[in-house]
């Protein structure tokens, strides 16, 4: 079937609802799996419209006032002391000085919960543009560490799609998610069990390599409701038996994946390490380069021209350097300084950089750690913060609702005990996180 360019679309008998219900179980969401099928019994501050009240609509966001902190707007760099942020039904109604916001404070009145922020800095919720969340525990840890919006770097069995739907019901437990579904990679391994419409690919001796096979994996992903498509051009860095400089897809194969994703309205992120692989991925039209250790000058110029983003995942390389496996540890020690030099030069060239931790498998790094490593790479504190706010929000298609605390934006915020413009490391341990107008549970 996968050698036929007229391959039929994925079967309608395999429903998106069924896929999400199974994925929710795998994510450990047995108490909430009904949310994926429209029959959940979740709670949300006792509001009417919660699933337990018999409605299939997610509840509205929280109404909350953040009072008295020092507000930073990453877009403009403006710092407002003794600021007030007014969030109504999960959306920012006003943010600024007491004088600028006093009418809005009066309008929400006693319905608002008040968070006292005196002595603390207030920033928009952070954005992790590359993270692998497969279960509720990791999702909750990510949001507690400040990542109120994330872009998935794929999961093995569509768990990110299930978590995305559950986040609509429990935003104080799960970040807002842009889901990637399953990896477009030559060897699907056990992931082929995720979806019966992938079963014919098991007959391919060379794996997922033909244009038809690549299109099939993209189309199955799209039919299950993904927001983005993830593919690769190089082998993994995190496996001692693989060489991350070995290229697995050429430009033509990558172009086939990009074309299929574009037809479905999805963007494409590409795992890459080697200079040639990165260049091939950029020329194939991917939207962002992930890892990109050996990003070269000619490719940087092409990325600037095309608007291709760079998500270096420095935190993952720092973690690799501490791995007990000597091969991986040496790889991490080698790659991190090279990647940081690439970040600095890409920034100087005008390439947009987004922060992503590449966290997975129970080890969730704070997105603030990635900001810290961006600062160490040579970015200013404000530009490093932008990689996890305005830049990352724009990359994942949330530039109108994430990355700032301004009227009309989603009510996501982090409060930190220190000045992040002097010491960005304070962003790794926020004292309070607000997601959709609700304070995030500890």
Cβ neighbors of 340 (< 8 A, separation 6 or more) are 312, 314, 373, 376, 377, 378
The pLDDT, as a whole number, for residue 362 is 80
pLDDT, position 55: 60
Q: What is the CA radius of gyration of the chain?
A: 22
Q: How far apart are CA 19 and CA 194, in angstroms?
A: 8
Contact 89, 108 (CB under 8 A): no
CATH classification for the domain delimited by 60-124+404-442, as one of 1.10.10.10, 2.40.110.10, 3.10.450.50, 2.30.40.10:
2.30.40.10
- Residues 412 and 25: their CA atoms lie apart, in Å, by 28
State the pLDDT at residue 346.
98
What phi and psi, each to the nearest 5 degrees, are found at residue 122?
-120, 125
From the number of C-beta atoms within 10 Å of its C-beta (0-12, 13-18, 19+), residue 432 rates as buried
**CB neighbours of 74 closer than 8 A, spacing ≥ 6?**
123, 124, 382, 385, 386, 389, 390, 403, 404
pTM above 0.75, yes or no: yes
Total Cβ atoms within 10 A of residue 56:
11
Please tell me the predicted confidence (pLDDT) of residue 442. Answer: 78
In the prediction, which pLDDT does 5 show? 34
pLDDT tens profile 169-201: 999 999 999 999 999 999 999 999 999 999 999
What is the C-alpha to C-alpha distance for residues 113 and 280, in angstroms, rounded to an integer? Answer: 51
Between vectors from CA 196 to CA 194 and to CA 202, what angle results, nearest 5°?
85
Helix, strand, coil content of the chain in percent (nearest 5): 40, 20, 40
The encoded tokens of residue 240 equal 């001692």
CB-facing half-sphere around the CA of 48: CA atoms within 13 A: 0
Instruction: Render pLDDT for 383-416 as a digit per residue (tens, 0 to 9).
Output: 999 999 999 999 999 999 999 999 999 999 999 9
Phi, psi of 387 (to 5 degrees): -60, -25
Question: What is the third-level CATH fold of 126-402?
Answer: TIM Barrel (3.20.20)
333: three-class secondary structure by DSSP:
helix
Strands 288-291 and 267-272: parallel
> Where are the domains positioned within the chain?
60-124+404-442, 126-402
3 state DSSP class of 26: helix
Low-confidence ranges of the chain (pLDDT < 70): 1-55
């Amino acid at each position: 079937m996968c050698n036929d360019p007229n391959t039929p679309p994925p079967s309608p008998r395999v429903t998106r609802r069924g896929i999400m219900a199974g994925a929710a179980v795998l994510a450990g969401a047995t108490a909430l799996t009904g949310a994926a099928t429209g029959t959940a019994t979740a709670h949300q501050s006792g509001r009417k419209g919660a699933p337990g009240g018999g409605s299939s609509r997610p509840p509205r966001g929280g109404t909350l006032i953040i009072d008295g902190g020092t507000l930073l707007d990453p877009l403009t760099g403006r710092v407002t002391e003794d600021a007030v942020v007014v969030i109504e039904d999960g959306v920012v109604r006003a943010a600024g000085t007491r004088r600028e916001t006093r009418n809005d404070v009066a309008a929400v009145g006693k319905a608002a919960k008040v968070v006292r922020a005196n002595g603390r800095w207030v920033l928009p919720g952070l954005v992790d543009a590359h993270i692998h969340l497969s279960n509720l525990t990791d999702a909750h840890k990510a949001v507690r560490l400040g990542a109120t919006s994330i872009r998935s770097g794929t999961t093995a069995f569509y768990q990110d799609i299930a978590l995305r739907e559950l986040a609509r019901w429990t935003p104080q437990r799960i970040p807002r998610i842009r889901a990637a579904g399953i990896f477009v990679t030559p060897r699907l391994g056990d992931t082929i069990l995720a979806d019966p419409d992938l079963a014919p690919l098991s007959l391919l001796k060379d794996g997922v390599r033909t244009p038809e096979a690549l299109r099939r994996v993209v189309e199955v992903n799209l039919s299950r409701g993904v927001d983005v498509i993830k593919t690769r051009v190089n082998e993994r860095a995190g496996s001692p038996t693989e060489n991350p400089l070995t290229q697995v897809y050429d430009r033509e194969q990558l172009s086939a994946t990009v074309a299929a994703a574009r037809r479905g309205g999805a963007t494409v992120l590409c795992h890459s390490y080697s200079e040639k692989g990165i260049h091939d991925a950029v020329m194939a039209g991917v939207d962002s380069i992930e890892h990109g250790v050996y990003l070269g000058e000619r490719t940087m110029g092409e990325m600037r021209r095309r608007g291709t983003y760079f998500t270096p995942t420095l935190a993952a390389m720092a973690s690799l350097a501490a791995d007990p496996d000597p091969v991986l540890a040496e790889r991490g020690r080698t790659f991190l300084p090279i990647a940081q030099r690439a970040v600095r030069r890409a920034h100087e060239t005008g390439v947009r950089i987004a922060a992503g931790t590449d966290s997975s498998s129970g080890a969730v790094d704070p997105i603030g750690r990635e900001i810290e490593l961006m600062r160490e790479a040579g970015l200013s504190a404000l530009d490093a913060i932008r990689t996890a706010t305005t830049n990352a929000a724009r990359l994942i298609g949330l530039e109108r609702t994430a990355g700032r605390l301004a009227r009309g934006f989603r009510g996501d915020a982090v409060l930190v005990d220190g000045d992040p413009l002097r010491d960005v490391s304070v962003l790794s341990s926020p004292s309070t996180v607000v997601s959709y107008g609700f304070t995030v549970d500890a």
